[in-house]
Amino acid sequence: MSRPWKSELRVQLGRGSTAVQRLAPWTRRVLDEARVQGAALQALPAALAALRERSEEPLPAQARLLVPDELAYLSLIERDGGWPAAHRAALDHFAATLGRTDLVVQVAAMPPGTNWLAAAIETGDLQAWQQALADAGVRLAHVELLLLDDLRRLAGQVPDEAIVALLRDEGSTLVRVERGTPVELRWERCDPRALRLIEQRLMAFQGGIVSSQPPGVWMLCGSDAQYAHWEHMARAHGWTLLRREAAPAQPEHGA
């Protein structure tokens, strides 16, 4: 159970780096951050150690971990009958498409109708994250999707008819929004620096080739470097370019 009156760790995994942030109680303002390059299984313990060394205060007792798109299987399914039926349908979907029945599966209803986001992660990955945090004296309280975290941040800016392009470390996630809710989801594994490749796939997904009035594109960059890389292209197409978040606040010593 979440305890908003206590400080919390926010763990953002990446294929090439892991960032761990110490968040304040209630406001969840970033008090400190440690980022370590490398694979998650090695980078996470190192980031926890770095954060602990930089403050006299002990690490928060609980953590929230965001799973990147690269480490999750994602799909939109239609199902009536509430959460149990949708969860059952998700299990069947991943068994049919991936041939896997050993995944950790969860579903979330996409408002307002019968669309559900089905997500699955490797059981081994979950256990490894729990163990790494437990070794540092931290309880893993929540395991959430970076995809939904980003969409929740963008919801107020994105219109009800739009294409959302989320640039990741190893590709991009494209989301078609109709009547205010995601109706199509596609993961494109590719080099996120390949401008022409992503441009073509994005335009195909947008329907710009066959439509004279395609929906607008909102592109989210994961870093300042990505933002600079895409700025010219986005301006040329009239895309809206966004950055996930500004740099974290300077660590507060003695707070």
- Cα dihedral sign, 206-191-124-100: positive
Q: How far is the CB of 218 from other proteins (least distance, A)?
A: 9
- Whichever of 36 and 163 has its CB closer to other proteins, that residue is 163
Q: How far is the CB of 32 from other proteins (least distance, A)?
A: 24
Interface residues with other proteins (CB under 8 A) are: 67, 83-84, 87, 104, 106-112, 117, 119, 121, 126, 140-145, 148-149, 151-152, 154-156, 158-160, 162, 177, 180-182
What angle is formed at CA 84 by the lines to CA 81 and CA 89, rounded to 5 degrees? Answer: 85
- Cα radius of gyration (the chain): 19
The conformational region for residue 251 under phi > 0 = left, psi -120 to 50 = alpha, else beta, is: beta
Q: How far is the CB of 139 from other proteins (least distance, A)?
A: 10
- Whichever of 43 and 107 has its CB closer to other proteins, that residue is 107
Q: How far is the CB of 229 from other proteins (least distance, A)?
A: 25
Nearest Cα to 52, choosing from 108, 109, 133? 133
Q: How far is the CB of 9 from other proteins (least distance, A)?
A: 15
What angle is formed at CA 222 by the lines to CA 11 and CA 206, rounded to 5 degrees? Answer: 125
Question: 112 preceded by cis ω (within 30°)?
Answer: yes
Count CB atoms within 10 A of the CB of residue 109.
15
- Whichever of 125 and 188 has its CB closer to other proteins, that residue is 125
- Whichever of 140 and 167 has its CB closer to other proteins, that residue is 140
Q: How far is the CB of 123 from other proteins (least distance, A)?
A: 10
Nearest Cα to 73, choosing from 98, 56, 50, 49? 98
- Whichever of 155 and 195 has its CB closer to other proteins, that residue is 155
Burial of residue 175, with CB atoms counted within 10 A of its CB: 0-12 exposed, 13-18 middle, 19 or more buried: buried
Count CB atoms within 10 A of the CB of residue 123.
12
- Whichever of 52 and 173 has its CB closer to other proteins, that residue is 173
Are the C-beta atoms of residues 24 and 79 closer than 8 Å to each other? no
Q: How far is the CB of 23 from other proteins (least distance, A)?
A: 15
- Whichever of 135 and 160 has its CB closer to other proteins, that residue is 160
